[in-house]
Amino acid sequence: MKKTFLVILAFVGLVALSCAVTKTTGGDGHSSYKNLKVLPKDITHEQMDSVMHHFTGSLNVKCNFCHVRNEEKKEMDWAADDNKHKLVARQMLTMTNDLNKKYFNLTGSAMNISTPLMVTCFTCHHGSTEPSTNPPKQERPQQRPPQDTTKRNG
């Protein structure tokens, strides 16, 4: 049940992502974002929203997994780089873009890709902050006695 939900979530995220990136910047032009190093500087609020929700959905976390709160102003400081998870996420974003570009020939920089991405955060993370690197244990079939190969084709 949970798995199905996550898969749907990822799919929705993916569609949102690919729709968002094909759209051009709205009339008001430049966004107000202050600290973008990988995402395009002219990303719209809508696009940013779908990218960030793709992140939270893929890792099954909330915004504050990567973003810190400014306790003085009593509000989230989205631009701050004080959370190490945000720094990892930025590298992951670069890696994911490179994978799509290099190995799947999906051109376009950062999230500016007009075709659905082949590799997304969800491809590896599947709702976890620590993607598993080993396959689950498989049930082994009952051991069979060694075959007598001399009798083959006889």
Say if residues 59 and 127 touch (Cβ distance below 8 Å): yes
Q: Which amino acid is it at 51?
A: V
Say if residues 117 and 58 touch (Cβ distance below 8 Å): no
Q: Does 65 engage in binding with ligand HEC (CB under 6 A)?
A: yes
The end-to-end CA distance of the chain, in Å, is: 52
Only segment of 1-9, 22-30, 125-133, 146-154 that touches ligand HEC (CB under 6 A): 125-133
**70/129 with CB nearer ligand HEC:** 129
Minimal distance, residue 71 CB to ligand HEC, in Å:
18
Euclidean distance between CA atoms 129 and 32, whole angstroms: 29
- What does the block give as tokens for 60? 């099954």
Minimal distance, residue 87 CB to ligand HEC, in Å:
7
Q: Does 78 engage in binding with ligand HEC (CB under 6 A)?
A: yes
**23/37 with CB nearer ligand HEC:** 37
**Cα of 115 vs its chain's centroid, Å:** 15
Q: Does 13 engage in binding with ligand HEC (CB under 6 A)?
A: no
Reference 57, options 5, 96, 22, 18; nearest CA is: 5
Minimal distance, residue 57 CB to ligand HEC, in Å:
9
Minimal distance, residue 142 CB to ligand HEC, in Å:
35
> Which residues form the interface with ligand HEC (CB under 6 A)?
33-39, 48, 52-53, 55-56, 59, 61, 63, 65-67, 78-79, 85-86, 88-90, 92-93, 96, 119, 121, 123-125, 129-131
